[in-house]
Amino acid sequence: MNTATLSLGTATSPTQTPIVNPQAAAAPAPTILVNIADQIGTITLNQPAKRNALSRAMVAPTLSALAEFQKASVRAVILRAAPDVKVFSAGHDIGELPLGEDPLPYNDPLEILLRAIKRYPAPVIAMVHGSVWGGATD
């Protein structure tokens, strides 16, 4: 396990020990998990604390995964959440919604993702379990 050592302030005596914070060195969890097995690509939404809200941080790697799947001639894509979550996706990350604009503009990350899924040259299957809200229903 990687740990980082943080010391707060300036040591005033040789007996003062630094504070160790193991979370400081931990990399943030990826927003999605990607797997290819038997020509089936799986994208697992991996932000349960945010109810898998479709943020820019989640959309960008999802678009990259779809592009990689296409290069690898993946014959089907499964879009899912982890099996133990109560919400498949809360839809668009409301913290990133444009103020006063509805519908979303053409260049909104969620709109770009929806078009990429529609254009994917093989079936894209939403393996939904739990509730689905907002833009995730598209």
Pick the more confident residue, 75 or 131. Answer: 75
Pick the more confident residue, 103 or 1. Answer: 103
d(CA 25, CA 44): 24
Instruction: Look at residue 10 and tell me whether its pLDDT is greater than 70.
Output: no
Name the pTM for this structure. Answer: 0.77
Class of domain 28-137: alpha beta
Which H helix or E strand runs over 118? helix 109-119
Task: State the pLDDT at residue 57.
Answer: 94
- State which amino acid sits at residue 40: I
Q: What is the pLDDT of residues 88-137, one digit of tens each?
A: 999 888 888 777 666 678 888 889 999 999 999 999 999 998 888 877 77
Task: State the pLDDT at residue 18.
Answer: 45
What is the separation, in whole angstroms, between the first and last Cα of the chain?
40
d(CA 12, CA 85): 48
Task: State the pLDDT at residue 103.
Answer: 67
Domains of the chain: which residue ranges?
28-137
Task: State the pLDDT at residue 2.
Answer: 28
Residue pair 44/31 in contact by the 8 Å Cβ criterion: no
Pick the more confident residue, 10 or 112. Answer: 112
Q: Are strands 124-127 and 76-81 parallel, antiparallel or unpaired?
A: parallel
Q: Which residues contact 102 (CB under 8 A, 6 or more apart)?
A: none
